Amino acid sequence: MRAVVQRVRSASVTVAGEVTGAIEGPGLLVYLGVTHADGSDEVAWMARKVWDLRLLRDEQSASDVGAPVLVVSQFTLYGEARKGRRPTWQAAAPGEVSEPVYDAVCAELERLGAHVERGVFGADMQVASVNDGPVTVILER
């Protein structure tokens, strides 16, 4: 499992002209990629890591201040582009595998106490954000 986590002042997802998820910051925008071997251990680790990571101002975590989290599925995080000009997506799990894992990460974040907004799995999404800092980290398990 791989995530790109950004500290944001605001973020939103729009699908077909309709806002489907939005947060006002301070908060976290999480792009989440799932690979074939990801399961419950990775779900628990990633949710806990995102929730407790001290990325907000004054070294606070989202859990410290109850900051909202917008989670967007992004299989392209497992794109491989070392050879040639066209990336491959073989390391990304197919939708029938990755969607339940994505849902489980969101549910685990909510269980931990997060207010979670979501993108629409598999949709053509437009993501808008105001990165704060900018602060961006990559997490991988």
Which residue in 72, 87, 78 sits closest to 123, CA to CA? Answer: 72
- Catalytic hit among 60, 76, 88, 126: 76
- DSSP run (H or E) holding 127: strand 126-140
**CA 92 to each of CA 32, 64, 89: distance values in angstroms, whole numbers, following the listed order:** 11, 32, 6
Q: What is the CA radius of gyration of the chain?
A: 14
Per DSSP, the three-state class of 66 is: coil
Active site (annotated) includes residue 14:
no
- Catalytic hit among 14, 35, 74, 126: 74
Active site (annotated) includes residue 76:
yes
Query: What is the DSSP pairing of strand 116-118 with strand 126-140?
Result: unpaired
Phi, psi for residue 107 in degrees, rounded to 5? -65, -40
Q: Annotated active-site positions, please?
A: 74-76
